[in-house]
Structure formats: C-alpha cells, structure tokens
Structure 1
Amino acid sequence: MQNTGLGSWPARRAAISPQRVALIFGDRATTYAELAARVNRLAGRLRDAGVRHGDRVCYLGPNHPEFVTTMFATYLLGGVFVPLNFRLAAPEIDYLLAHSGAEVLVYAPECAPVVRACERVATLGTVVAVGDPAAGELPYETWLAAGDDIPIDVPVAGDDVACVLYTSGTTGRPKGAVLTHANVIWNCYNVLVGMDVHGDEVTLTGAPLFHVAALHQCLLPTFLKGGCSVLMPSWSVDGCLDLIARHRVTWMFGVAPMFAGLAASPRWPAADLSSIRSLIVGGSAVPEALIRTYQQRGLTFCQGYGMTEAAPGATFLEARESTAHPGSAGVPVFFTEVRCVRPDLSDTAPGEPGEVLVRGPNVTPGYWNDPQATREAFTDGWFRSGDVAVVDEHGHFRIVDRIKDMYISGGENVYPAEVEAAIFEHPAVAEVAVVGVPDERWGETGRAFVVPTAGRRVDPGEVRAFLAGRLARYKIPTYVDVVADLPRTGSNKVRKAPLRALPLPTRQR
C-alpha cells in the first residue's frame, strides 16, 4: 500500500474483521466492510470533484457516521480534514472556511441555515449536504452511489498533514492546530499503551467529534482494535444512560460537566453501569469530589491531560493507579516527554507550580497559516502549553489552571480551579466557574458563578461561609453569583471571558 496514513485504516480493518460493527447511530449499524466501501466510494466522488493531495475538506455537523466517512475519505486522497464546530454562527464559520482555504464543505441538514448565511460557501468548489436534501438538491445517497468501487491508493506519508483542528477560541480568533498522520497515529499508540482497549470495546462518543479528545482518544483507538463506536448526535444525560443500557457500553470519554450531570441525575442511583470498564475525563481540572462519586460506584475514573496541539494526549493516569492518586492527571504518556518549568525554563521542584511543556511525535508542527503563533508556541523544540501544573514526588502531574486564568489578590497567586474544586464540594452546587475581577483594595479578587443542583437553593453568603477553613481567606471569592447555566465552547469548556465582562454587583459581605 502506498498510503501509510490514516486513510488506509478502513480497508486494513475491513480485511481483518469485515462483519464486526464499526459504528452505531440510532438504529443504524455499519460494519467495517460497509464503512470501507462507503469511504472508498466517497473518496472517488471527492476526487471527481477535484480534491487532491493537500486540499482541505471541511465537515460541519453533529456526530454522525458521515463525519467518519468524510474524514477517512479525505485521508484516503491525502487531503486535509477540517472538522468545524457546528455550534458556531455564520460569520465564525466563514472565517474558518476562509482561513483554512477550504475547497469542499460537507454539512448536515440541520446546519443548512448557517451554510446558506455563509458568504464564503459560494466560492467553494464543492458543497454537499448529508441526509435529507433541500428542494432542488441532489440527494446525498444518490450522489454517493454514483461513485465507483475501484480501490484508491495514493501516496500518503506520516509527515503529511492529516487535519487542521481549530482551538476553542476562548480568547480571540481560534488557531488551526496542524496534525500530521504520524501525530495522530503516535497518539493512538499512547492510548493503547495506557489503556487495555479491547476488540470487543463498545465506546460511547457523546462529546463532539470536532473535538480532538472524542476523535483521537476514543473513536480512532476503538477503530484500531476493531471495536464499536456508538455515536450520540448531541449530549444528554438521559440519552447517555439509555445508550449505556441498550448497547452495554464499556468505555466513554467526557469532560467534567458531562460526568457531573450524570451523577446529579435522579436516575444515577439505580442506573445499570455494570458494563462500563473505563471512564476517561479530560478538558479541565476535575474536582476530587466528583472522582470520589464515581469511585464509590466501583467505576474506574481515569483522568488525563492534553491539548489539541498534542493530538491530544500528554499525561494519563492508568486504571490501576486511579484509586491511589485521585485527582492526578497522571504521568507522561509512553512516547511523549512532559516537563513542568519555571519562567526561566528550569524544572520546578515537587509541589512548585510551573508551566507545562510537551515534546514528542504526537505534537503539532505548528499552526495553519500562522507562522508567528507557531514561533511563539515553541521554545527549543518544546511546545509551551500555557497551563500551570504541579508535579509531586512520584512524578504525577496535577493541572492547576491556565496561566491566563490565574489572578493575583493582595500579592498572592490564586488559581481558580482550586477554588472551583472547593466550592464543588458543597452539596447544593452542580457547577461552578471562578474568575478574577478588579478590586480597589486587593488589586484583584474572586467572583464565583454557581449553578445549583436541581431542586436545591444556593445562598451566596452560605457558600462563602462554607469555604471558611477550607481555603485561605484571600482565595474565598468576594462575589458569588447564582446562575442557571454557564457559557460554554463547542467542546463544553466554560467560556470565562463573558463572565469577566459582566458588571460587578454590589460588594457582598
């Protein structure tokens, strides 16, 4: 095979296990043989439309089998896959289409209003709607069936660009992290070393596939082993519990708010979770109270740390270590180096906060069409994460916070994630976000936004009293706002910039 990249995987897996189920979506099951045939046919149609090595193919839509088909078809041609956040508005999608230099857009029907509002779409060579067509449009399945079954094998090497994944854009314009085929493959190796992924795995994909963790930490390692991925078009607690029971799910990834939502559900105490072998959480620091909630159910709740630019795995806590090190983000994954450094780039002492640096075959070569951001992201070959961690005497990393989220109150550094973890211990708190805000006396002080547990009431003064004795006084937020929900990015991370921009209430006592 000339194609040694990701595009060769469907044919390789179909040759090994053609009748195993690769994907489940609603009532539709797709075997590896069926998927490989659809990938080849779609690649042929895209090639007929002019897609060649290095051309960018975008996908816009919720989790769906055609996301996976489009991705592999693009890789089969040596193209560059660009998954887009389907929650973005038309001007934001326009920017990503223009910045990536997209030639093709494949989109889901529910995204049609946004696509029609995008000025850039009219300049693209090919625009294809998946599923039910609008009036006058060619049905996707008819268009796909017109392709031929001649196998496609073009030269694709490990160093070729596989995908451009746009970061969440919590501040400013999102950057497009470039990942090569080798970056993604080495990340999968790291996952398979750190986890006992089985060929009979049933992996629930509830987080969006345009997010690197759902795509590269779960779907692709499951694919490599010949397991089955159950795709949720959108996340819901009840939908998740229903699918776990229906398909006997063995493995799932999520961010902390997703797992917190499950634990807060009235169905949680009686839910049958006996099929689950592994739960992985990432995306942000995880409160130890949440970890204990899952451990009390006998569930292996493993935390990892990563970033889009590392494809994404940097550290991981293996299952056998999860009870002994609750709250740890683990140690560096097998084929990757991770350091924690001071501003002068010397290594920190155990327990001393520092910036996380990462180096390895899974780390991005840089940002798409942004040489300045690429230069700023690397120092002596190490990628600078912008995240703060402490490393204990056993080499375990604990992610403290983002450097940009830290604030200084009365000369003391305050890491919001630590404050959030303490507030999360309150039995009436379902979610919380803490930001630093200006203060005439202390320079900056804390402001907490608290979402109550369903059916519970939260009193701001009582929250501050709850923290007394749990945190140093300078860490206790001056302001506590009770809110219905928190603003989020497409990958379900909390967007703190809008919270910082809100006018301050009357100072609370």
Structure 2
Amino acid sequence: MQTISSALAWWADTTPDSIALSFGSEKISYGRLCAWSEHIARELISAGVERGDRVGVCAANSAEYCALIEAIIRVGAIVAPLNMRYTLFEMRELLEDTSPRLVFADEERRMKLAELNIDLRAIEDIRSFDKRSRTHIDRETRPDDPVVIIATSGSTAKPKGVVLTNRSMTTYVAGFALEEPDCTKGSRVIVPAPLSTSAGFVQLVHYTTMGCSLFFESAFDPEVFLDILVRERINAFGAVPLFFERISDCAGFDAADLSHIRIATTGGSSVSRALQERWMSKGIVLRQIYGQTEAGGNSTIMPADLATRFPEKCGRGGIFTQLGIVDSEGRRLPPGEVGEIIMRGPGIMAGYWNNPEATAEALKDGWLHSGDLGVLDEQGLLTFVDRMKDIIISGGLNISAAEVERSILAFKGVEEVMVIAARDKKFGETPMAVVYTRGEINIPDLIAHCNEQLSDYKVPRYVAIEHEPMPRTATGKLAKPAMRTKYADAADTLPRVR
C-alpha cells in the first residue's frame, strides 16, 4: 500500500536501529518510532478517533509531536496542525473550520486553549506510549486517505486549509528520490521549520519516507545551526536565503568543515550572486527552488550544474511535475514572457478543506494556478518574478497582507489600510501598515489591538498615517506599488512601533 505508514513500517523492519529523529541528545530509531506510533494509534482508536476525523496539534517541535503525527496518519485520521504562535482568535477560527475530535497541546498552549470548548489533551502524555515492542492496529490505511490540513497564507483574509494525501505525499517523495540520488536512506537532514508549517510537516514525512535521519531545532540560531551542520555531518539543508546569510556571517564559517553537505536548497526570495559565491567558497552550491504548500512541497529544484551560472533560476520542474506560464485568460505564453506560474503533478493538493470555491479557482484542468508571476527561458528554466498573491515573507514565515489588513480595518477610525513589506535586517522583511484616517489614530492602541488578534510575527512593526485617500488602480483596487515606492525607505525613516 502506498502510504506514509507503510514506509515507516518498512524502515522499522529493514533498518530498525537507524536514527529517524534527533532532538538534542535524544535519538529515536525507526524501530522505536514505529512501535511508539502504533501504541499511540491504539489509544486514539480507544478514544473514539474514526477514519477521516481531524486531530489538532498545537505544540513546539518534539519527538512526541512526530510520533503523534505518525499515529494519526496510521489510524486514517487527519492531522490538523495549529501554529503555536497563533493568537486565541486565530486558533478559534481554524478549530471552527476543521472541527477536530481531539486537540493535543503542550503546557503553554493548553493555557491559551483552555477556554475553548474542545477535547484538550496533553501532548506530554504521549511519552507514556513510548514502548519498544510493535503492536497490531486493526485498521488499514489507504493511499487516497487525506493525512493533513495545513493552513496557508494566501491573498484572502482567512488562511485556507491545504489537504494532502498519502498518495500525493509519497509520490512527491518518489520523484525527489529519482531526481536527487545524493540524498538517500541514511542521509542526515536538518529541519529548521515548525511542524505546524508545510515546510516542517512535509520534511518530516518526506525524509522519514526515504529512511533519512532528521535533526530538529526549535528555533533558528545561526551559531547553533553552524555547529550542528559540522558536528552531525549534515548532508541536506533547506531554508530561506536569510538563514544562509546569517550562517555565513558567523565567525566560524570560514573554518567550518561543511564538505559533507550534498544538497543545499533555498527559496522565498532570490539568491544573490554574492551569497552564492560565499557558499561556493565552501564547495556548496545554493540551489533555488520554487513551490508552495498547494504543490505539496517543491515543484522544481535548480540543477546544481546550472545554479552556479544562474543562481536566480529555479529549475525546469520534476520527473513527474510540469511547469507552465499563462496569461490572465489562461493561454500559454512562450519563453521570455512573464505570466502566472502553473504546475501539475502527482504531489498537488487534493484541494482546500471545506472550500470548494477556492479549490475550483486554484485547480483547473489538472493544473494548479499558483497566483505567482514567473517566466520560462528557452531551456524551460523558471525564474520567479513576483507574488501575485500579497504575501510578506518574514524570517521564512508567510504572512497574508489581507489577514493583517482585516484586523486593522476593525480598529476604530481606520478608513483604508494597505499592508506592505518593509525591509528588516533580522527577518528580511516585516509587515508595515499604511493607514488612511480622517481623524487621528493612536498607534500604540492600534498595535495592542493587532496583538490581540494576530500572532506576533504578523503585527506591523511600522505604521504610516495618511490623511488623504490612497491611490487606486483603474479597477478601483488600492494601488500598492505606489505606496511601496513612497515607503521604500520606511525602515530608515519611520520609528519602529514594536
């Protein structure tokens, strides 16, 4: 059966002592992870979890979290991760949408969720099922069972839930294995992303399905990451360019032995030639990727031999995945013309949870319409141009401008608002709000209002007040390019408000 659970069982049977997960000094073998997840699965069935039920998880990365994910998938239920940085307001919205039968949370998040009417469980109790002997589960997993609903920030005010299945995720892995023979079973991979995000969840499934060893860190500290890359002889590492910049700025970077790194991928923004050259001095080629949660991960990775000459390009698709560029009418565009990036392949999402209208808009004739602008060259290599979707990428985290705008518009006195990206030395970019009011706005009160409704990384760090209506396009939409130009130097000219 082509399932995530069958892959885990395979590695538990064939290489039971190989490391699956590493959390600091704790190493979890494949045999132990499989047995642990099976005992959790029996408990979930005893708790009344049926096939297709959603099980929420809100916690920091941990071995318990990973084992719980495997167990939920094993019983045919659906993992519904909650970003641990979400406010209660954001969590309530997602819980209302997914209606989970159970929600597991760590101590800090349980305090936040306690007032909601949900069946709340302690994720720490998962430890009691950490048994080394395998056990039989009287329920079969199926290839087309949905396995996860991942909230994604898009151009809409509310996040949409991307549904991925056993088949889509394992076929994605199969394509990667054929394309990247340098990353095979036993490869050592560092995972900097939270399990609640597509980056974290997909990497967990991706690399355990391949029989790799995953090294998790709960937060990004460049000095710590450099030490792990060297000490654990990491073979594969993927992150936004900012992470690579911060690591290469470390005092020990020049002397560090990084010869074991075979794959280094990056996305979210372009790789500068200076950054590429910095890592190439260590014998490592940074390879640009392009993908999104709806595509199940990376739709294309730039070949290493071409990345040295064209660091800004993202590759030509995959062995099972095709790319195309279309105009606003859906017509294919020739090489050299900018249009919307479309993708098709077996890793594409099944759809958006409980949202057939958005699904129909995104999936047309088997192609995923990305909402991003790109261009293909004569070799079929993709260059990402811009985001049609209004997304701010701050420290590797996607922020929907529309979601922040929705919160600000609820504040008294705000007539119009545009949320745009401001430069930020630490996070690359950060949200900035341009507010039109006919009266006065108390900015500290506005920020306090945002803090109640939005995760801290979504709250604007800069606020500009306009006393005239803001520019609009010919179709009546707010014209953000004009404000981006006006406030291009906001980080240097405006005071930080938080």
SS where residue 257 of structure 2 aligns?
coil
Structure 1's 507 and 205: CA in aligned 2 closer, same or farther, altered over 3 A? closer
Between the aligned partners of 2:351 and 2:361, the Cα distance in structure 1 is 10
Q: Supply the distance in 1 between the matched residues of 2:243 and 2:134 (Cα, whole angstroms).
A: 41
> Which residue, out of 262, 267, 278, partners 2:252?
267
Is the 1:194–1:318 contact (alpha carbons within 8 Å) kept by the matching residues of 2? Answer: no
Q: Which residue of 2 aligns with 1:298?
A: 283
DSSP 3-state at the match of 1:331: coil
Q: Tell me, in whole angstroms, the C-alpha distance in 2 between the residues paired with 1:106 and 1:506.
A: 43
Matched to 2:50, the amino acid is R
Q: Is the 8 A contact 1:7 1:74 kept in 2?
A: no
Structural mapping, 1:168-179, within 5 Å: 168=153, 171-179=156-164
Q: For the structure 1 residues 104 and 76, does the alpha-carbon distance in structure 2 shift closer, same or farther, using more than 3 Å as the test?
A: same
Structure 1, residues 245-271: CA drift from partner, whole Å, max 9, x if none? 221111111112222221233333333
User: 1:44: how far off?
Assistant: 0.6
Tell me the secondary structure at the aligned position of residue 178 of structure 2: helix
Cα distance, 1:300–1:94 mapped onto 2, change above 3 Å: same
- Which of 24, 37, 59 pairs up with 1:26? 24
- Where does residue 335 of structure 1 map in the other structure? 320
**Within 5 A, what are the aligned runs for 1:260-409?**
260-405=245-390
Residues 447 and 78 of structure 1: is their aligned pair in 2 closer, same or farther, counting only changes over 3 Å? Answer: closer
- The normalised TM-score by structure 2 is 0.77
Distance 2:346 2:201 in 1: 18
Alpha-carbon distance in 1 for matches of 2:131, 2:26: 22
Matches within 5 A, 1:405-484: 405=390, 449-452=422-425
Kept in 1, the 8 Å contact 2:325–2:339? The answer is yes
- Alpha-carbon offset, residue 446 of structure 1: 13
For 2:337 and 2:134, locate their aligned partners in 1 and report how far apart those are by CA, in whole Å: 59
**How far, CA to CA, are the matches of 2:389 and 2:30 in structure 1?**
44
Deviations for 1:252-305, whole angstroms, at most 9, x for unmatched residues? 111122222212333333333222121111234433432332223221211111
Aligned counterparts, 1:119-158, within 5 A: 119=116, 122-124=117-119, 127-131=120-124, 139-142=125-128, 144=129, 150-158=135-143
- In 2: Cα distance, 1:100 partner to 1:446 partner: 28
Q: Does the alignment pair 1:251 with 2:236?
A: yes
Matched letter for residue 235 of structure 2: T
Cα distance change, pair 230–173 in 1 and its aligned pair in 2 (3 A): same
Q: CA RMSD in A?
A: 3.3
1:83 to 57, 81, 89: 81
Whether contact under 8 Å (1:256, 1:281) holds in the other structure is yes
**Alpha-carbon distance change, 394 to 149 in structure 1, aligned in 2, over 3 angstroms:** closer
* 1:16 corresponding residue in structure 2: 14
Correspondence list, 1:37-48, <5 A: 37-48=35-46
In the alignment, does 2:110 pair up with 1:112? yes
Residue aligned with 2:253, SS: coil
In structure 1, distance between residues paired with 2:336 and 2:72? 45
8 Å CA contact retained: 1:206, 1:231: yes
Unmatched 5+ stretches in structure 1: 132-138, 407-415, 418-432, 436-444, 455-486
1:176-255 correspondence runs (5 A)? 176-196=161-181, 197-216=183-202, 218-255=203-240
Measure the CA separation in 1 of the matches of 2:374 and 2:292. Answer: 14
Distance 1:50-1:302 versus aligned 2 partners, 3 A rule: same
> In structure 2, how many angstroms separate the alpha carbons of the residues matched to 1:52 and 1:446?
42
- Asked if the contact 1:7–1:77 (Cα under 8 Å) also holds between the matched residues in 2, the reply is no
Contact 2:31 2:132 in 1 (8 A): no
Q: Which runs of 5+ in 2 are unaligned?
A: 394-398, 402-417, 428-449, 467-485, 494-498
Cα pair distance change 1:386/1:159, threshold 3 Å: same
Q: 1:35 aligns with which of 33, 36, 40?
A: 33
Change (3 A) 1:302 1:145: closer
TM value normalised by structure 1: 0.76
Distance 1:285 1:502, change over 3 A: farther
Look up the equivalent residue of 1:6 and give its one-letter code.
Answer: I
